[in-house]
Amino acid sequence: MEGKIIIFGAPSGSGKSTIISHLMSFPELHLAFSVSATSRPPRGDERHGVEYFFLTPDEFRAHIDAGDFLEYEEVYEDRYYGTLRSQVEAQLAQGQNVVLDLDVNGGLRIKEMYGERALSLFIQPPSIAALRQRLVGRGTDAPDVIEQRIARAEYELSMAPRYDHVVVNDVLDVAKDEALQVVRSFLEA
């Protein structure tokens, strides 16, 4: 039986990665991450085909021209990220339920392509103030980077109503349970 697609979108600092990690701990859901492509060089111990498919900017553009991506984004000049159609289709054919962690626009594009075969979940912080507090609390970003993320979050939050389901992450355990219930219902349908 072919798998289904579960798309996650959220502002940075919303708890999306924590919620996805929780869902991945349930083997009966047959969840598997899609490996994205990027034109950035590998970092540390990253390996081609494991964390990302590492492509040169020219190779990435050739895949764009060939229509090989379900979605892609040029984040900075010559710094691309994208989801290869062949990767997702191969995983679906193997019966895996493919988890996509994408920017909000990429998530909506893939939902449009796959329709009822895809579930789009938006993980929302309880407020912009709470989001700012989480980003500051991480201690990983400079103040100007946090402000850029907050500005982007305001735009991303405006897209939440276009997703199939919004999970407000006010209390993490409640958000984890809600996401699990929504994903289980979708996969059982």
What pTM value is reported for the model? 0.88
Assign 147 a pLDDT band (cuts: 50, 70, 90). Answer: confident
Burial class (CB in 10 A: 0-12, 13-18, 19+), 162: middle
Say yes or no to pLDDT of 134 above 90.
no
CATH architecture entry for 2-30+96-189: 3-Layer(aba) Sandwich (3.40)
Return the closest-CA partner of residue 69 out of 48, 87, 42, 94: 87
- Domain residue spans in the chain? 2-30+96-189, 33-94
Query: 31-33 and 118-124 as β-strands: parallel, antiparallel, unpaired?
Result: unpaired
Assign 137 a pLDDT band (cuts: 50, 70, 90). Answer: confident
Say yes or no to pLDDT of 146 above 90.
no
33-94 belongs to which CATH class?
Answer: alpha beta
Distance CA 184, CA 189 (A): 9
Mean pLDDT of 40-66: 93
2-30+96-189 and 33-94: identical CATH topology: no
pLDDT digits (tens, 9 = 90+) for 74-118: 888 998 999 999 999 999 999 999 999 988 999 999 999 999 999
The pLDDT of residue 43: 87
